[in-house]
Structure 1
Amino acid sequence: MSHQEQALVSLLSQLALSFDGAVLGFALAYAAIRTFFKFSATSAALRKLRRAPYLSVSDLRSLLADSPPDADSTSDGGTIVIVRGTVDAKSAVDGSWKTLRPGVLVSRESGDKGVILQRTQTCIYNEWKGLLGWTSDLRAFIARSWRKQESTSLRKVPFVLIDVGRRPSTPEYVVVNMDGSRHPLPLTTVYHKLQPINASPYTFLQALFGHEYPVGLLDEEKILPLGKDITVVGLGSLNNGVAEIKSCKDLPYFLSDLSKDQMIVDLSIKTKILFWGGIAIGSMSVGILGYAVVRNWNKWKQWKLQRQLQQQRQAVNNVEPQIDDDEIEDVPDGQLCVICVMRRRRSAFIPCGHLVCCQGCAIAVEREVLPKCPVCRQEIRNSVRIFET
């Protein structure tokens, strides 16, 4: 670990442990609250998946036509369903003269056909610091997360699901509506190649001054191929008599390779991890915050006591200039103040009545948190100055 990394780690640790760990406690409490929110959302999704019917494409139309909206219906007018089918192009089932062209995408590198095509280019950089690259570590923490090293393009065409094992000519199909979906896609990698980048004179200068320079370009192509069996989880509805399914933002799945049972097992494991993780993080935050509260409360009481003592000293200093000179000059030993042993005894304590302190020391004793007579240790309420005739 470089010096810049050590300095950053030290700064973050000091910030987390400031106020006796209160900042760390609040951060853990925030993480625990977010964990419980995720647990609640995952549990709700799990309940919806368990109640959702798991059926084939041919059974979906009759279910949507005959069954009234139930508890799983949403404001969009759809019912949560789980459908297992085979991917096919929409042009294969349209039957219109406008669909004579195959509505599919073809991979430029492999030639495979699909309905979703994703191409990714990732530039790989060398991180050598170079001779003058002592600032590269700090730049790595600040700037690298903002800099894009990857570019992705995604193309989609309309597609449908047909029953598994049936020919594309079957009239039973369901249209998959991808609009607004941000769920992960079960794509298949059809092309993966790493190409080295030849060095140039500019590359030498980048290396010399510690700048990152590209050394390779990774090309990837992923598709959702025709004929792939997938599971679609979403809101089913009839659109002009045609069965349609679209994504539901409350569910973590839309297109998936998993079956209904596998999804339920996966979500059950996630709910348990989120539940116990939230309890563990919440317990840690409560313990750290409790410790921070006690420590800061004790520090506040100590600061308050010190401030009171400081005010008492200031009061004594303000009183001392008003003391008569005869209290200091030619004072017999039996009449000296028992505290400062410098001035004449002038103040008597109430209620014990002991005349053992000068005026300044009597005021200092009187302003203590628990004022007590220095002779009999009885608690006092006030002091009174005694004048000689």
Structure 2
Amino acid sequence: MSSRDQAAAAALAQAAVACDGAFLGIAIAVLAVRTWLRFRFSSSALSKIRNAPTVRVSDLTTLLHDSSSSDDDDSSDGKLVVVRGQVQSKSSVNGNWMSLKDDVLVSPSSGDRAVVVQQTQAYLYNEWRGLFRWTYDLHSLFARSWKEQESSSLRTVPFILIEGGYWPRSGYVVVNLSDSVHPIPLTTVYHQLRPVQASPYTFLQAMFGHEYPVGLLDEEKILPLGKEITAVGICRSQDGVPEIKSCKDLPYFLSDMTKDQMVGNLAFRTKILLWSGIFLGTLSFGILGYAITRNWCRWKEWRHQRQRIREQRDEATVENSADNESGDAPDGELCVICLMRRRRSAFVPCGHLVCCATCAMSVERDSNPKCPVCRQTIRTSIRIYAS
């Protein structure tokens, strides 16, 4: 590990354990809050998908008609449903359904007919520690990812979901992909890794420990006709035709999984997030509690130490003054406790002038300070100076 990385690791370690781990506790607390927010999102999505009815494509028109008749206010917002059907081009319902001249896409590599075609070219980078940086260090953790997307193209045509085996007599539902950020269940039909020819510049990059490309990955994914998928979204009637659209509050829209698989996957994820949030919250609470307690004790110790230093300084001052006053004095003016120094401190509130400054300070520090003459509880003492 280089000196720069050693300094970075030491700085990270010091920041993590600063104030007895307070910063580490705060970071874990933030992670716990994010985990709890994800848990709430997954729990809400699980409840919505579990309560959403599973409807056949042929029954969507009847369901939407019944819901609009029962509540006209909610009919414009649509209804959350789970529909499973086969992919078909929308152009097949505009003309003759027997026609093969549908508006579909053709895969350039496999020749399959599809409604979605995604082509991706990505360079694969490698990091090798060369002549001057041959060891692994912290810099590699924050370096560029192994796979860098260079170019990606996505082509789509309008498509629908039909009920397999009953088309065209059954109905269909139009899939609306607008404003959807959910992934599409694509099928990989082409996958090829081509090596990149090395150059003298690549050799210099490898020698000095920099990144260099090792291959070019070409991929092509399609959504073919006839593929059976599940759609989970808001379904509404558009000009008498059912249309389904993605819901932003759900992690799924189009998927290969069935409703039961989605519910099982979400239930497992929700349980993991729940226990992770509990563990992280408890851990952060323990670390922050320990840090607060330790810093509070340190602050009290620091305050006590400062008070002790101040008292020692006062004692030294009193002793110096007492040394100056330890000369000959009449018997009636000697301290009643030490019988060595002159009486200089009067107790409050009784007002008896019977002790020197040193003995008066020792009386004040008792757990129950009392005047040695009248035995009245005292609060403090006052130094008396003779003019």
Q: CA deviation at 1:216?
A: 1.0
1:15-94 mapped onto 2 (5 Å cutoff): 15-68=15-68, 77-94=77-94
Pair 1:235 & 2:216 matched: no
Deviation digits for residues 347-380 of structure 1 (CA, Å, limit 9, x no counterpart): 46667979665x4x4686588696969x99x985
Pair 1:185 & 2:212 matched: no
Q: 2:114 maps to which residue?
A: 114
Structure 1 residues 240 and 337: CA distance shift in structure 2, 3 A: farther
Q: 2:278 maps to which residue?
A: 279
Pair 1:381 & 2:379 matched: yes
CA distance, structure 1, for counterparts of residue 366 and residue 188 of structure 2: 78
- Aligned residues of 2:163 and 2:170 also touching (Cα < 8 A): no
CA distance, structure 2, for counterparts of residue 76 and residue 366 of structure 1: 86
- Aligned residues of 1:312 and 1:367 also touching (Cα < 8 A): no
CA distance, structure 2, for counterparts of residue 108 and residue 338 of structure 1: 109
Matched residue count: 380
Q: 1:303 maps to which residue?
A: 302
> Which blocks of at least 5 consecutive residues in structure 1 are unaligned?
none
Structure 1 residues 171 and 366: CA distance shift in structure 2, 3 A: same
Structure 1 residues 186 and 284: CA distance shift in structure 2, 3 A: same
CA distance, structure 2, for counterparts of residue 337 and residue 130 of structure 1: 86
- Aligned residues of 1:348 and 1:356 also touching (Cα < 8 A): yes
Which residue type is aligned with residue 261 of structure 1? D
Tell me whether 9-18 or 119-128 shows the greater mean CA deviation.
Answer: 9-18
Tell me whether 304-313 or 291-300 shows the greater mean CA deviation.
Answer: 304-313
- Aligned residues of 2:126 and 2:212 also touching (Cα < 8 A): yes
Tell me whether 58-67 or 23-32 shows the greater mean CA deviation.
Answer: 23-32
CA distance, structure 2, for counterparts of residue 254 and residue 70 of structure 1: 27
CA distance, structure 2, for counterparts of residue 60 and residue 29 of structure 1: 46
Deviation digits for residues 248-302 of structure 1 (CA, Å, limit 9, x no counterpart): 0111110011111111122222222222222222222222222222112111211
> Secondary structure of 1:199's match?
coil
Q: 2:124 maps to which residue?
A: 124
CA distance, structure 2, for counterparts of residue 290 and residue 37 of structure 1: 23
Structure 1 residues 143 and 262: CA distance shift in structure 2, 3 A: closer
Which residue type is aligned with residue 77 of structure 2? G
- Aligned residues of 2:335 and 2:354 also touching (Cα < 8 A): no
Which residue type is aligned with residue 91 of structure 2? S
CA distance, structure 1, for counterparts of residue 134 and residue 341 of structure 2: 69
Pair 1:209 & 2:188 matched: no
Structure 1 residues 63 and 345: CA distance shift in structure 2, 3 A: same
- Aligned residues of 1:195 and 1:216 also touching (Cα < 8 A): yes
Q: CA deviation at 1:243?
A: 0.9
- Aligned residues of 2:322 and 2:341 also touching (Cα < 8 A): no
- Aligned residues of 1:362 and 1:383 also touching (Cα < 8 A): no
> Which blocks of at least 5 consecutive residues in structure 2 are unaligned?
none
Deviation digits for residues 128-178 of structure 1 (CA, Å, limit 9, x no counterpart): 122233798465345526x971233322221111112244x4462111000
> Secondary structure of 1:68's match?
helix
Tell me whether 241-250 or 118-127 shows the greater mean CA deviation.
Answer: 118-127
Deviation digits for residues 170-204 of structure 1 (CA, Å, limit 9, x no counterpart): 46211100011111221111111111111111111
- Aligned residues of 1:162 and 1:174 also touching (Cα < 8 A): yes
> Secondary structure of 1:149's match?
strand
Which residue type is aligned with residue 250 of structure 1? D
CA distance, structure 2, for counterparts of residue 208 and residue 32 of structure 1: 43
CA distance, structure 1, for counterparts of residue 323 and residue 296 of structure 2: 45
> Secondary structure of 2:192's match?
strand
Which residue type is aligned with residue 92 of structure 1? S
- Aligned residues of 2:58 and 2:170 also touching (Cα < 8 A): no
CA distance, structure 2, for counterparts of residue 113 and residue 29 of structure 1: 51
CA distance, structure 2, for counterparts of residue 277 and residue 289 of structure 1: 18
> Secondary structure of 1:307's match?
helix
In the superposition, the TM-score normalised over structure 1's length comes to: 0.81
Structure 1 residues 121 and 353: CA distance shift in structure 2, 3 A: farther
CA distance, structure 1, for counterparts of residue 70 and residue 359 of structure 2: 84
CA distance, structure 2, for counterparts of residue 385 and residue 347 of structure 1: 4
- Aligned residues of 1:366 and 1:382 also touching (Cα < 8 A): no
- Aligned residues of 1:316 and 1:363 also touching (Cα < 8 A): no
CA distance, structure 1, for counterparts of residue 111 and residue 345 of structure 2: 107
Which residue type is aligned with residue 279 of structure 2? A
Structure 1 residues 52 and 24: CA distance shift in structure 2, 3 A: same
- Aligned residues of 1:372 and 1:380 also touching (Cα < 8 A): yes
1:216-255 mapped onto 2 (5 Å cutoff): 216-255=215-254
CA distance, structure 1, for counterparts of residue 242 and residue 206 of structure 2: 59
CA distance, structure 2, for counterparts of residue 28 and residue 387 of structure 1: 62
Deviation digits for residues 310-331 of structure 1 (CA, Å, limit 9, x no counterpart): 444555677788x498426679
- Aligned residues of 2:123 and 2:216 also touching (Cα < 8 A): yes
Q: CA deviation at 1:388?
A: 8.1
How large is the Cα RMSD of the aligned pairs?
Answer: 4.1
Which residue type is aligned with residue 381 of structure 2? S
